[in-house]
Structures are given as C-alpha cells and as structure tokens.
C-alpha cells in the first residue's frame, strides 16, 4: 500500500467543503482514482467493494461499456444545449420511454438536475395547480415521520424534523404536517382525522413508497400507499411519490408504486435514472396536472427552468440505462441479491445490540439500538475491504445489481464480522 497522498489531493483538500461533514473534526476522505463494476480503487492502492453504489445510483455498476459509449457519442455531437425554446432527441426520447414505463397516465416529464430539485418542482406543481384555480389557501403538505426528500429548502420542510438532518432549520422552514404513516388502526385514524381538519389548507401528500431511505431504511407494506391514494382522492389532494431511491428496480419492481398497484399524480425520479453516471432528475405528472397549467394567462405556466435541465449527456446516459433494463435481467438480479442478502445478513440478528435485520429487493439493513462512534465503524469496514457508510443506528447495503456473487458474499460477510467484533461485550 502506498501511503503517500497524491499531489492533487494535498493541494485541493484545503479548498473543498464536503457534504454532511463537520469539517473541523472529520477525518480526510478516501482518495479515489478509479472505479470498475462494484470496485473502488484508492490512490494508495487499496481496492474496496462498494456496498452502497454511490448513494444507490450505480445500479449497473461503474463504467458500464454501453452507457460509456452512449455518453462518448453524445459528447462528440452535442454535450449541452439549453432547453428553453430548443429541444433535442435524447430528452424527447427519454421522456417518451419514461412515460411508457410508468403507470398509465403519468405522461408529462419535466427534467431537472437532481433529486432534491425534482421534489421542489413536484411541490411547486402541486401548489401552483391550486393557485391557477384562484385558491391560495392550499399551500401545505402532509409528509411522514421517517421521511427524507432532499436538502433544498422546500424539500427540507417535508423531511422528518426530528430524525432527519435538518432540525436546525425547523423554525425557518415552511410548516408542513408531519405525521406517522397509516400503518395500523390508530395511525390511520390519526391520519384521516388530520386530513379532515386541514384539507382546505393542503395541496398534497408526499411519501417515499415502500421504503423510507435516508430517514432510516424503514419499510412499509403496499396497503399503506393504497390508503394514501384513497385519502388523497377523498379530499382532492395530489399524491406525490418520491421514487428517487426506489425507482429503477431497487425495491424489487421497476418502480415501487407497481407493487401497490397505485398511480400517484406526480412521481419524482433521479439517482439510478442515469445508471449513476451523470446527475439528472425528472418530475413526471399526469395529464390532469399538466392541463391545470394550460391557460391564456402567461403566469399560469410552470415558471421553472434549471440551466442544465435535460442535459443531452445525462439524457443519453439515461436512455442507455433503460436499454440495459430492457436487454439484461436486472430485476432477476435484484431478486437474486434479495435472497443473498437475506441469507448473508441473517447471522447478524443474533448479535448483541442488533434490533432488526430486514431486506427488500436490493436493500439490506441491520438496525442496531445505537452506534456510539460512526467514524470508527466506517473505518472498520474500510479495513475489511468494503465501502459501507452507516448512519445513525443503521448499517445498510444497496449494491449494484451487477455485483458478483463472490463480491456480495464478501459484503455481507464483512457486515456480520465487523458488527460481531463491534458489538462484543
């Protein structure tokens, strides 16, 4: 192992501001020089098996040749062009293909550049739908404890204010209604009563379907989504599914909403949309939502337009990613990963301080009663040859769908062995 840090690292590290990091006390990040498949090659020569696919984005693994070729071809032709007053084939083809894959009726695609912005656009659509009808009262949202929807301002307001990362902003964010998911009779009664009381103030309901990701890797059954759909219809609210995490196979079906047989009014997509290659987001609405913006009044248009929306390189990557879902057995691979995660993580259930072990699709979770030193635990995983990034009291795996059986076994084995030492009295 070469312990010398590369010059680009030593010269640049003093000028960078890292995400989710207390820069005063945090250790330096790992210097990466290359990725391949499910492997991360570090500057010091070490190679790690990636257990989280770069925040769940690299569903086909890193550097897939088909995506690489599509981006290279697009780069030579047209790396970027503004989307105002102009259009291009990669974006229009991608919009058509997404509409064909999503539940019937989700036909209008608005592109942006990230998941958080996709949520911002969805919320803006929901509020403006009412404004365009002359109703300025319906401006609030129902969201759920354990939920996470991004780090931009409106998105922060619908995250869990207590368990999330944005409690510092609680007094300055828009005040939304954050409640428990309607999982049982009592929580359904509370939820239904809340809607009855506040319906005239509400624009919509936003939820991560089946899996609340960064809020704790919390799973809920499909009937919860059916209850939300019925409640939204009862009070005339828009139902927004945030599928930035679950979209494109992560929970076992191409989209989580398929498992419940529920169509939202708006769905947000990002992360695995481009196969983890380039940032791209999409907010997809029904024609009923879209038609609420059609008017002879110019201000009734959706006045939103990120500079790099529908970037041709990103759209080319996304189209190539969809090719791979069509040509290669991705959902079958997810099913195999699910079975392997169940087998591989089950021994952790018997360890001290382990509260739960749960798996859904290509998501494996070990929940502890606490993790006293996250930094030290992360270091233990690196020493075991894997890149796993626990948060709060959660150790999780969200590998690439193309990960080999041997690599996946090493990941689950590392989780169990590291936690066995970690939880030892």
Report the mean per-residue pLDDT for the chain: 97
Closest C-alpha among 95, 422, 415 to residue 283: 95
Which of the residue ranges 2-6, 35-39, 165-169, 358-362 would you say has the lowest mean pLDDT? 2-6
Active site includes 242?
Answer: yes
In this prediction, residues 303-323 reach a mean pLDDT of 97
pLDDT at residue number 96: 98
Helix (H) or strand (E) holding 365: strand 363-368
Q: For residue 113, indicate whether it is catalytic.
A: no
pLDDT digits (tens, 9 = 90+) for 110-128: 999 999 999 999 999 999 9
pLDDT at 164: 67
- Residue linked to tokens 């590290």: 13
- The question of whether 396 is a catalytic residue gets the answer no
Over residues 334-340, the mean pLDDT reads: 98
For the chain, where do the domains classified as CATH 3.90.1150.10 start and end? 7-63+329-422
Q: Give the model's pLDDT for residue 244.
A: 98
Q: Are 338 and 359 in contact (CB under 8 A)?
A: yes
Cα pseudo-dihedral 370, 150, 125, 257, rounded to 10: -50
* 226-278 residue pLDDT tens: 999 999 999 999 999 999 999 999 999 999 999 999 999 999 999 999 999 99
Question: Other C-beta atoms within 10 Å of 397: how many?
Answer: 27
1 band by pLDDT with thresholds 50, 70 and 90: low
Tens of pLDDT, residues 389-417: 999 999 999 999 999 999 999 999 999 99
* Candidate CATH numbers 2.60.120.260, 3.40.630.10, 3.40.640.10, 3.40.718.10; the one for domain 65-327: 3.40.640.10
Can you read off the two tokens belonging to residue 258? 């398929």
CA distance 107 to 287: 6
Count helices and strands in the chain by DSSP H and E runs: 14, 16
Q: Which candidate in 50, 242, 378, 396 is catalytic?
A: 242
Cβ atoms of residues 249 and 401 within 8 Å: yes
Question: Using CA of residue 344, residue 346, residue 349, residue 351, what is the dihedral sign?
Answer: negative
Residue 388 token pair:
């796993």
212-216 own/partner pairs: CB under 8 Å, 24+ apart: 212/144, 212/146, 212/147, 212/148, 213/56, 213/148, 213/245, 213/246, 214/148, 214/164, 214/245, 214/391, 215/146, 215/147, 215/148, 215/159, 215/160, 215/163, 215/164, 216/146, 216/163, 216/367, 216/392, 216/394
Are 182 and 191 in contact by the 8 Å Cβ rule? The answer is: yes
How confident is the model at residue 154, as a pLDDT? 95
pLDDT > 90 in the chain, percent:
96
Distance, CA of 80 to CA of 85 (rounded, Å): 14
Coil/strand/helix, residue 60: coil
pLDDT at 281 over 90: yes
Q: Which one is catalytic: 151, 160, 271, 396? A: 271
What value does the mean pLDDT take over residues 285-300? 97
Q: What percent of the chain has pLDDT over 70?
A: 99
Angle at which helix 405-422 crosses helix 374-383, to 10 degrees, equals 140
Distance in angstroms (rounded) separating the CA atoms of residues 343 and 422: 21
Which among 407, 319, 382 is positioned nearest to 67, based on CA atoms?
319
Q: Residue 2: pLDDT band by 50, 70, 90 thresholds? A: low
370 burial type by CB count under 10 A (0-12 exposed, 13-18 middle, 19+ buried): exposed
Q: What is the 3-state secondary structure (H, E, C) of 136-187?
A: CCCCEEEEECCCCCCCCHHHHHCCCCCCCCCHHHCCCCCCCEEECCCCCHHH
Write down the pLDDT at residue 69: 98
pLDDT at 3 over 80: no
User: Is residue 125 left, alpha or beta, with left meaning phi > 0 and alpha meaning psi from -120 to 50?
Assistant: alpha
Q: Phi and psi for 216 in degrees, rounded to 5? A: 145, 10
Q: Which of 50, 148, 160, 378 is catalytic?
A: 148
Phi (first) and psi of residue 194, to 5 degrees: -65, -45
C-alpha 114/C-alpha 227 separation (Å) is: 29
Q: Is the pLDDT of residue 355 over 70?
A: yes
Half-sphere exposure of 150 (CA within 13 A, CB side): 26
For domain 7-63+329-422, give the fold.
3.90.1150
Question: Is residue 356's pLDDT more than 80?
Answer: yes
pLDDT at 163 over 80: no
CATH 3.40.640.10 location in the chain: 65-327
**What are the residues facing 205 on neighbouring strands?**
142, 239
Catalytic site residue 148? yes
Name residues whose C-beta falls within 8 Å of residue 143's C-beta, 6 or more positions apart in sequence: 149, 158, 159, 176, 177, 178, 179, 205, 206, 207
């Amino acid at each position: 192992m070469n312990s010398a840090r590369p010059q680009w690292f030593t010269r640049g590290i003093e000028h960078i501001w890292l995400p989710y990091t207390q820069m005063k006390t945090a250790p330096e990040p790992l210097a990466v020089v290359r990725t391949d498949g499910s492997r991360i090659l570090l500057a010091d020569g070490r190679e790690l098996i990636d257990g989280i696919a770069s925040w769940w984005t690299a569903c086909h693994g890193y550097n897939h040749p088909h995506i690489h070729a599509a981006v290279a071809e697009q780069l030579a032709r047209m790396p970027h062009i503004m989307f105002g007053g102009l259009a291009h084939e990669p974006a229009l083809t991608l919009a058509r293909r997404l509409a064909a894959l999503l539940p019937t009726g989700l036909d209008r695609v608005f592109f942006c550049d990230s998941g958080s912005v996709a949520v911002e656009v969805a919320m803006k659509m929901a509020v403006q739908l009412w404004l365009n009808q002359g109703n300025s009262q319906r401006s609030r949202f129902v969201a759920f404890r354990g939920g996470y929807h991004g780090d931009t301002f409106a998105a922060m307001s619908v995250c869990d204010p207590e368990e999330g990362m944005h409690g510092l902003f609680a007094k300055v964010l828009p005040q939304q209604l954050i409640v428990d998911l309607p999982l049982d009779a009592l929580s359904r009664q509370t939820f239904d009563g809340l809607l009855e009381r506040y319906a005239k103030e509400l624009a919509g309901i936003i939820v991560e379907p089946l899996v609340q990701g960064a809020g704790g890797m919390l799973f809920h059954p499909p009937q919860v989504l059916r209850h939300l759909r019925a409640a939204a219809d009862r009070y005339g609210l828009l139902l927004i599914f945030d599928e930035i995490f679950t979209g494109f196979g992560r929970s076992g079906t191409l989209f989580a909403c398929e498992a419940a047989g529920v169509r939202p009014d708006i769905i947000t997509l990002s992360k695995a949309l481009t196969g983890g290659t380039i940032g791209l987001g999409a907010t997809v609405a029904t024609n009923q939502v879209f038609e609420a913006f059609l008017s002879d009044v110019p201000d009734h248009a959706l006045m939103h337009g990120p500079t790099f929306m529908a970037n041709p390189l990103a759209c080319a990557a996304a189209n190539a990613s969809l090719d791979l879902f069509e040509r290669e057995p991705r959902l079958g691979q997810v099913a195999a990963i699910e079975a392997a995660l169940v087998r591989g993580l089950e021994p952790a259930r018997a360890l001290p301080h382990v509260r739960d072990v749960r798996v859904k699709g290509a998501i494996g979770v070990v929940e502890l009663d606490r993790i006293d030193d996250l930094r030290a635990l992360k270091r233990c995983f690196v020493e075991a040859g894997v890149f796993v990034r626990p948060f709060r009291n959660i150790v999780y795996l969200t590998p690439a769908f193309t990960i080999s059986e041997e690599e996946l076994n090493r990941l689950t084995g590392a989780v169990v062995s590291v936690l066995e030492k970690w939880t030892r009295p």
